[in-house]
Structure 1
Amino acid sequence: MATLKRGREAVCFGRLAIARDKGKRPGCPASPIWIGPAARKKSTGQQVYEQFRQRLAAAYDQWGASRGTTPASFFDLMDQAIEFHSVLERAFPCDSVSGPFSGKAAVIGYWTALAESWEMLSSKTEAIVSEGDRVVWIGRVHWRHRRTLRTLETPKIDVWTVWQHRAIRYYEMVDSASYGRAIAAQEESVHQA
């Protein structure tokens, strides 16, 4: 236990620090007050995630600067057995980029299909957040579909799960309704009915 200023005493329980008033008011029992994450040194595990976060930020920067033509930096971050998923899987199961993709070779196929189907107009990183074994990229992307020439401008969230310096799982979230309009899937299903 560490002693805090003003007569409070901190107790560390794993990741949280709890402070107890030391008799500030006569007759009142000590009451717990949440202070927040316990101060501790960065562990080796945290350093691994921070390094991964930095490498991921650089990969997104390169990818955005090249307008989606250089995904190789992402491949360096992936484990051979990565699981690649998207919110589009259920809505567009026959689409070549909707997934799921299992293994690095299949994921490289995803990036190939993406480049064949879409032209990136812009990509902007808004934040990269890490907690535990997850690193989350938050941003916006703007694409043009090569067949329909319609654009897709959407917020995008990518959740990367990391284990031993490598991404073992990826989950992508985009606006699926806008995606459907851009590939003209919604119109096609209306005409078929």
Structure 2
Amino acid sequence: MDTKKLEKIFFSTLYLSSFTFGGGYVIVTLLKKKFVDELHWIDEKEMLDLVAIAQSSPGAIAVNGSIVVGYKICGIPGIICAVLGAIIPPFIILSLISACYTTFKNNSVIKALLLGMRSGVSAVIISVVYDMTKNVMKEKDISKIIILIASFIANYYFNVNAIFIILIVIAYGLIKAFIKARKKREVLK
């Protein structure tokens, strides 16, 4: 096993988790920048697939994202390193905050800081959505574009729960894969 890669996975996820505020979608963007753009260990299409898996799995997306990235790069040891790197900083930070909660609760400086961080988090989430949409549009697959638009409309305008949208898209993907496999078998006969 490549210990240098495992170290890089651990310290990368530790760093990202330490300095990322705003939840899982923010860290997913940073995982992409680190492992796709900087290290080139995963290609962009694979990263989109990994993000989809992380989103559709139960639990925190930051941890799920770390799991799938760690597994893709180094298997089970990669998962262990990535998850430890991703959970240690929030564990320590939340332990410290909970110990000092009554002091922070009414502090106007802390309230202003958190309000400012919300704006930055919104910008990062918009960046993720833009990057993922851009990649879908590049493929020029009309079915993916229709799914993208329909999912947005269903969630935003009709308040359809994202879980139902994910399940419908999974069913569509399974049906499409089944049809493709069936056609392939018919060609081979």
- Please state which band the TM-score falls in when normalised by the shorter chain: under 0.3
Asked which structure has the greater RCO (Cα within 8 Å, sep 6+), the reply is: 2
Structure 1-normalised TM-score?
0.26
Structure 2-normalised TM-score?
0.27
Which one has a larger percent strand, Structure 1 or Structure 2? 1
